[in-house]
Amino acid sequence: MKKIKWTILTLAILSSVGGAFASRPPALVSGLYYFNGEGYMPVTGQLGVTYVCESSTSTCTYTYSQGVYTPYQTASSYTPIAVTLTTKPTPKKNN
Q: pLDDT at position 83, please?
A: 56
Asked, for residue 3, whether it belongs to a domain, the answer is: no
Asked, for residue 40, whether it belongs to a domain, the answer is: yes
Asked, for residue 10, whether it belongs to a domain, the answer is: no
Asked, for residue 95, whether it belongs to a domain, the answer is: no
Return the closest-CA partner of residue 74 out of 66, 92, 91, 62. 62
**Which residues in the chain land under pLDDT 70?**
20-30, 82-91, 95
Say how many domains are in the chain: 1
Q: pLDDT at position 76, please?
A: 77
Asked, for residue 58, whether it belongs to a domain, the answer is: yes
Q: CA-to-CA distance for 2 and 80, rounded, in angstroms?
A: 55
Q: Is 20 left (phi over 0), alpha (psi -120 to 50) or beta?
A: alpha
Asked, for residue 34, whether it belongs to a domain, the answer is: yes
Return the closest-CA partner of residue 24 out of 80, 63, 56. 63
Asked, for residue 2, whether it belongs to a domain, the answer is: no
Average pLDDT, the chain: 77
What is the span of the domain harbouring residue 75? 26-82
**CA gyration radius, the chain:** 23
